[in-house]
Structure 1
């Protein structure tokens, strides 16, 4: 059984969602960032942390890649052109979507108040909208980002879409809005979102 450390109101949801998609047993330790439970396994205090055979794996993207490769699901095989395209999409989402939302969060409630720059959000929203147009041009014809197969970047993008709604970053591309609506209705995601109220398996 895997152990996942972190609150679902964070990138921890990405990991729990993948575990639900894969039908794997896990324990969720709903610990806040920088809490003693987190610092004990990750000195940076950041979540999520996946504990595998008493070894912590940090960073949500690294965890998703490990789970996908280890279980041979939600990914294309390493060394294939499809995997290269998948990794390219993953990096694009981290650079253009996740980074903008994280910067906005830092200047909203994470940084000390005297260091916050509220004006930065205007430029971040502009970049976020421009990135949507680029993403839509890269989306496949199937129900998922890469076509007929759900992969790691689908989890990252959907989580960013949910995060954007909370942060009031508009989704301006209809194709992306329709995609997010479909993905948010996945049963595994709904189970993941309810995981803090259950034992996780």
Structure 2
């Protein structure tokens, strides 16, 4: 049994979705960041936290990689070229998509008001749009990022796509928009979001 700590409005959605895709049992504690429940598991106060076998695991990407490796699904085997390509895609998404969206969020509502810089969002939007062109050039011909197999990067990218919509970071590449529409229709994602 796993316990996922964090609301569906956070990166915890990535973990909930993966658990639904894997068909695993879990409990969900929709605690907000920096709440006592979260701080007791992660001194940084950040979500998500996955409690597995009594041990808290933090950072959504680390959690996804752990679950994929532990259950042998939504990933390629470690040490293979396919896994190296998958890990490269994961890092690209974190560097180019997640980082831009997170920095925008920090300057929108996370940092103290006197430290927020609204002007930074213009450059972040530009970077986000430029990164979409690179991503589309890297996407496989299959229905998923890596081809015929859904993997961890698919969860990260779809979550970033939803986050981009909420942050008014436009999706400018048609192929990416079509991919996101397909991924958003997955029953496991809908079940996770319904929590």
Q: Deviations over 1:106-159 (max 9, x none)?
A: 000000111100000000000000000000000000100011000000000000
Structure-2 separation of matches of 1:163 and 1:87: 21
Structure-2 separation of matches of 1:123 and 1:43: 32
Q: Deviations over 1:73-113 (max 9, x none)?
A: 00000000000000000000000000000000000000011
Residue 84 in structure 1 maps to residue 84 in structure 2: yes
Q: What TM-score, normalized by structure 1, do the two folds share?
A: 0.97
1:199 matched residue in structure 2:
none
Structure-2 separation of matches of 1:155 and 1:52: 20
Structure 2 gaps of 5+ residues are none
What does residue range 78-157 of structure 1 map to in structure 2 within 5 Å?
Answer: 78-157=78-157
Structure-1 separation of matches of 2:149 and 2:30: 31
Q: Deviations over 1:161-196 (max 9, x none)?
A: 00000000000000000000000000000000012x
Structure-1 separation of matches of 2:4 and 2:146: 28
What does residue range 167-182 of structure 1 map to in structure 2 within 5 Å?
Answer: 167-182=167-182
What does residue range 1-201 of structure 1 map to in structure 2 within 5 Å?
Answer: 1-195=1-195
Q: What TM-score, normalized by structure 2, do the two folds share?
A: 1.00
Q: Deviations over 1:30-70 (max 9, x none)?
A: 10000000000110000000001110000000000000000
Q: Deviations over 1:3-34 (max 9, x none)?
A: 00011101000000000000000000010000
Hey, which bits of structure 1, 4+ residues long, moved more than 3 A?
Answer: none
Structure-1 separation of matches of 2:116 and 2:66: 35
Structure 1 gaps of 5+ residues are 196-201
Structure-1 separation of matches of 2:53 and 2:2: 8
Query: RMSD in angstroms over aligned alpha carbons?
Result: 0.4
Q: How many pairs are equivalent?
A: 195
